[in-house]
């Protein structure tokens, strides 16, 4: 199994790329489509490795917190302790890598890049806005609404309130939430990882930090109920 050691270009490569872009701004400039594909491929690779390492834990009937020693302090004989330890270390590293990739994707969503030659030349901007369909006042188009928040839950601790409108959860936005399936997938693989969530509350837009976790005293990793938003 191949494990990526770096998710970002070395600084020297970045500098070379930057210099090249400055020299020829309109030739070979990355587009939204190319950057989305690059980051999506990175995310897919990390997710596949996470799934493989979680498979190691599952095959040993372990979680990230299962004790690896018996009551007398000896390594347990009913599990492959070395494999479980290795899997846990890699899962922690890969979760951080995934967070970096999702952060890049979120930055791409908010920053935006030219869409091919038309975008680079400043033409077709009106069509671009129509295609995205996400600009709405001071933020992007809401894709979900918070219907309920359980007291003492991760959502409550993050500051989410009933009737908040979700604008973005990391890289998940109105154009790619896939009937909220993308939200469920992201939350399911992000236990213990702080996720950036952007919400609109009345006329105010705010960014919160939401960390999915079990053991808070209720059901689910978030402790809130969200429903698709339709204007």
Residue 208, helix vs strand vs coil = strand
Residue 8, helix vs strand vs coil = coil
**Is the pLDDT reported for residue 179 higher than 50?**
yes
Position 139 scores a pLDDT of: 46
Report the predicted TM-score, pTM, of the whole model to 2 decimal places.
0.47
For residue 110, name the pLDDT band (cuts at 50, 70, 90). low
Distance, in Å, from the CA atom of 84 to the CA atom of 92, rounded to the nearest integer, reads 12
What is the DSSP secondary structure assignment for residue 54, as one 8-state letter? Answer: H
Tell me what percent of the residues of the chain surpass a pLDDT of 70: 73
Helix, strand, coil content of the chain in percent (nearest 5)? 40, 15, 40
What number is the average pLDDT over the span 175-180?
88
Position 225 scores a pLDDT of: 93
Reported as a single tens digit per residue, the pLDDT across 188-223 is: 888 888 888 999 998 899 999 999 988 888 888 999
Position 160 scores a pLDDT of: 95
CATH class of 133-228: mainly beta
Tell me what percent of the residues of the chain surpass a pLDDT of 90: 30
What number is the average pLDDT over the span 106-135?
46
Instruction: Tell me which residue has tokens 């494990």.
Output: 3
Distance, in Å, from the CA atom of 65 to the CA atom of 143, rounded to the nearest integer, reads 34
Cross-strand pairs, 135: 140
**Is the pLDDT reported for residue 136 higher than 70?**
no
Position 23 scores a pLDDT of: 42
**Is the pLDDT reported for residue 12 higher than 80?**
no
Distance, in Å, from the CA atom of 30 to the CA atom of 40, rounded to the nearest integer, reads 15
Task: Give me the residue spans of the domains in the chain.
Answer: 29-131, 133-228
Position 49 scores a pLDDT of: 87
Instruction: Tell me which residue has tokens 């030219």.
Output: 114
What is the DSSP secondary structure assignment for residue 216, as one 8-state letter? Answer: S
Position 28 scores a pLDDT of: 61
Position 223 scores a pLDDT of: 92
Encode 102-121: b = buried (16+ Cβ within 10 Å), e = exposed.
bebbbebbeeebbbeeebbe
Mean pLDDT rounded to a whole number for the chain: 76
Q: What is the DSSP string of 103-165?
A: HHHHHHHHH----HHHHHTT-SHHHHHHHH--EETTEEPP-EEEEEE-TTSHHHHHT--TTPE
Position 112 scores a pLDDT of: 52
**Is the pLDDT reported for residue 35 higher than 50?**
yes
Which tokens hold the place of 215?
């053991």
Position 78 scores a pLDDT of: 92
Reported as a single tens digit per residue, the pLDDT across 45-98 is: 888 888 888 889 889 998 888 899 888 889 999 999 999 999 989 888 888 888
């Amino acid at each position: 199994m191949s494990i990526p050691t770096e998710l970002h270009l070395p600084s020297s490569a970045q500098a070379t790329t930057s210099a090249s872009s400055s020299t020829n701004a309109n030739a070979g400039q990355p587009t939204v489509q190319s950057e989305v594909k690059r980051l999506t491929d990175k995310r897919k690779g990390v997710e596949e490795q996470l799934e493989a390492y979680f498979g190691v834990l599952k095959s040993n009937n372990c979680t990230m917190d299962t004790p690896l020693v018996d009551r007398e302090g000896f390594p347990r004989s009913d599990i492959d302790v070395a494999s479980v330890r290795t899997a846990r270390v890699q899962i922690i590293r890969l979760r951080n890598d995934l967070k970096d990739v999702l952060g890049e994707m979120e930055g791409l969503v908010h920053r935006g890049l030219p869409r091919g030659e038309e975008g680079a030349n400043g033409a077709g901007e009106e069509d671009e806005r129509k295609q995205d369909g996400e600009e709405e006042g001071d933020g992007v188009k809401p894709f979900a609404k918070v219907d309920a928040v359980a007291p003492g839950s991760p959502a409550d601790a993050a500051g989410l309130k009933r009737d908040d409108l979700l604008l973005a959860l990391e890289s998940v936005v109105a154009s790619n939430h896939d009937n909220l399936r993308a939200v469920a997938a992201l939350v399911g693989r992000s236990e213990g990882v702080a996720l950036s969530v952007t919400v609109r509350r009345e006329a105010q837009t705010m960014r919160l930090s939401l960390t999915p976790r079990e053991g808070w005293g209720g059901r689910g990793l978030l402790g809130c109920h969200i429903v698709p938003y339709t204007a």
